């Protein structure tokens, strides 16, 4: 379960934000044909003032799993820790002098807040950011350090969204939406230009999806750029299965509200697609797949171990799709966007543990034992003989169903993966014990 407030919005809040923020762009999909390549090119000149052209790193490990060459677009190494700075800066840079004088306001539990705060500081604009109570301290401090005024409201981001919209109405401040605005989409699409210019032979791009700002921009920019070269590029989106508004919405053909369940991928936990984003995605994205929290946690561990990259859960869902076999074969040269790296250290500790457990690298077993001296030593020796390492032991005489002459231990063991974990279990069973796996 996430310890951060997901950037979700109820239908009313989403409409409120979109309507208030898109005054200079129609919010109906029919009136918004999508950005032109010229708009993306112009945005790149603007965005490059503050944003890094982040690395495109090859991954032999993921290539072997996917059966195609794989590169990682490392937006986790971007300034402010995510791609969000691109759309925020592009939007703020297009404000009139009168709008800049009124200031800007946004609501966010993390990356959007930091992007808006940073962009506002660089452009000399006063920024007010509404964040939920309990937002992780590193995100709160980073946003405040960029010079924004922080206001804490509510326990989920629904309340800050409404508060920000009301603040905009009362003060005249310009509301900056996280994804549902043409200028934001164009700014995020500069990621796509960097990909196709660094790797012209790209065949597939895999993109995390929350509200849809990133994938709408990336898909539109890449498809237009590839078309000029007589090529086609497949675009695949990835959502957390506990916050998957796009599969349901694409099925019925209109942005649809879904109930958000707890997910570690809080950065893409959005309850309804953006109105502008949806039409672009419907026309330019080939497929959307979903991944579980366990699959995402495993992806974070793989990125740490294999690529030496710190990535937040929302930014790792593309890698999770590879590890879980959710992507089809024959994708050719594949780029996976790592959309952000802003993960709270406490959350990272929990996610790593979850990822190790999901990959059977961290095995918890309950074992009933006779209540006599030496039994724990015997169990430890058997586990050591199987090549595994005991990291924690809990011991009780009070478990439900235990006889007076019995005790129960819960023992945590480091293993080398699924096959090794099964070997440890079989070793214990061969000696007459009945180990039961404890789910993480």
- What tens digit of pLDDT does each residue of 134-182 get? 888 888 999 999 999 999 998 777 788 899 999 999 999 999 999 999 9
What is the structure's pLDDT at 367? Answer: 86
- CA separation for the pair 293, 190 (Å, rounded): 29
Residue 218: pLDDT band (50, 70, 90) is very high
**What is the per-residue pLDDT for 437?**
83
Q: Which of 102-116, 203-217, 361-375 has the lowest mean pLDDT?
A: 361-375
pLDDT for the residue 33: 56
Could you report the per-residue pLDDT of 169-195, keeping only the tens digit for each? Answer: 999 999 999 999 999 999 999 999 999
In the block, residue with structure tokens 């561990």 = 301
Helix (H, G, I), strand (E, B) or coil at 233: coil
What is the C-alpha separation between 284 and 43, in angstroms, rounded?
A: 20
First to last CA, the chain: 12
| pLDDT value at residue 369 | 83
Q: Give per-residue pLDDT as tens, 323-344.
A: 999 999 899 999 999 999 999 8
- Which pLDDT belongs to residue 54? 98
Which letter does DSSP use for residue 181 in this model?
S
Please, what are the domains in the chain?
24-82+182-355 (3.40.50.1100), 85-175 (3.40.50.1100), 360-437 (3.30.70.260)
Report pLDDT digits (tens) over 286-299.
999 999 999 999 99
What integer is the mean pLDDT of 102-118?
94
Give pLDDT tens digits for 43-98.
Answer: 999 999 999 999 999 999 999 999 999 999 999 999 999 999 999 999 999 999 99
pLDDT-derived band at 372, boundaries 50, 70, 90? confident
* C-alpha–C-alpha distance, residues 299 and 91, integer Å: 32
Contact 341, 77 (CB under 8 A): yes
Identify the residue whose tokens are 């390492």. Answer: 389
- Of the candidate ranges 12-21, 262-271, 353-362, the one whose mean pLDDT is the lowest: 12-21
Mean pLDDT value of segment 299-327: 95
Please report the pLDDT score of residue 404 as a whole number. 64
Per-residue pLDDT reduced to its tens digit, 241-279: 999 999 999 999 999 999 989 899 988 998 999 999 999
Q: Is the dihedral of CA 86, 88, 89, 94 positive or negative?
A: positive
Residue 399 has pLDDT above 80, yes or no: no
Across all residues in the chain, what is the average pLDDT? Answer: 88
User: Which H or E run contains 389?
Assistant: strand 389-396
* Cα 433 to Cα 271: distance, rounded to the nearest angstrom: 47
Which tokens sit at 315?
Answer: 């930014």
Task: Answer yes or no: are the C-beta atoms of 262 and 303 closer than 8 Å.
Answer: no
- Percent of the chain exceeding pLDDT 90 equals 64
Per-residue pLDDT at 398: 63
Q: Tokens 């077993």 identify what position?
A: 365
């Amino acid at each position: 379960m996430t310890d951060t407030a997901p950037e979700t919005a109820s239908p009313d809040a989403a409409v409120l934000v979109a309507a208030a923020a898109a005054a200079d762009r129609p919010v109906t999909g029919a009136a918004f044909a999508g950005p032109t390549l010229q708009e993306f090119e112009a945005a790149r000149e603007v965005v490059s003032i503050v944003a890094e052209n982040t690395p495109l790193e090859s991954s032999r490990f993921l290539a072997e799993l996917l059966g195609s060459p794989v590169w990682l677009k490392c937006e986790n190494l971007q300034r402010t820790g995510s791609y969000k700075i691109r759309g925020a800066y592009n939007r703020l840079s297009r404000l009139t002098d009168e709008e800049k004088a009124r200031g800007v306001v946004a609501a966010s539990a993390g990356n959007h807040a930091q992007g808006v705060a940073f962009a506002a500081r660089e452009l000399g604009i006063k920024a007010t950011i509404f964040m939920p109570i309990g937002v992780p301290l590193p995100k709160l401090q980073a946003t405040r350090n960029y010079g924004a005024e922080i206001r804490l409201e509510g326990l989920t981001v629904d309340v800050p969204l409404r508060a920000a919209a009301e603040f905009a109405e009362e003060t005249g401040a310009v509301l900056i939406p996280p994804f549902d605005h043409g200028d934001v989409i164009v700014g995020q699409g500069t990621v796509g230009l960097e990909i196709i210019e660094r790797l012209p032979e790209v065949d597939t791009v895999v993109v995390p999806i929350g509200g849809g700002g990133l994938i709408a921009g990336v898909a539109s920019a890449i498809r237009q750029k590839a078309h000029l070269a007589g090529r086609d590029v497949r675009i695949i989106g990835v959502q957390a299965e506990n916050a998957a508004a796009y599969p349901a919405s694409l099925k019925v053909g209109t942005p649809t509200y879904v109930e958000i369940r707890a997910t570690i991928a809080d950065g893409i936990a959005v309850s309804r697609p953006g109105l502008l984003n949806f039409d672009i995605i419907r026309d330019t994205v080939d497929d959307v797949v979903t991944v579980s929290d366990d699959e995402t946690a495993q992806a974070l561990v793989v990125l740490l171990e294999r690529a030496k990259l710190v990535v937040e859960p929302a930014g790792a869902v593309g890698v999770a799709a590879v590890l879980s076999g959710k992507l089809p074969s024959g994708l050719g040269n594949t780029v996976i966007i790592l959309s952000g790296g802003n993960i709270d250290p406490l959350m990272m500790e929990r996610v790593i543990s979850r990822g190790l457990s999901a990959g059977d690298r961290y095995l918890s077993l309950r074992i009933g034992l006779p209540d006599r001296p030496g039994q724990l030593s015997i169990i430890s020796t058997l586990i050591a003989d199987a090549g595994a390492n005991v990291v924690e032991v809990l011991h009780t005489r009070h478990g439900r169903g235990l006889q007076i002459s019995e005790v129960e231990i819960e023992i945590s063991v480091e293993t080398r993966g699924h096959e090794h974990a099964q070997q440890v279990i079989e070793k214990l069973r061969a000696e007459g014990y009945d180990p039961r796996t404890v789910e993480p």
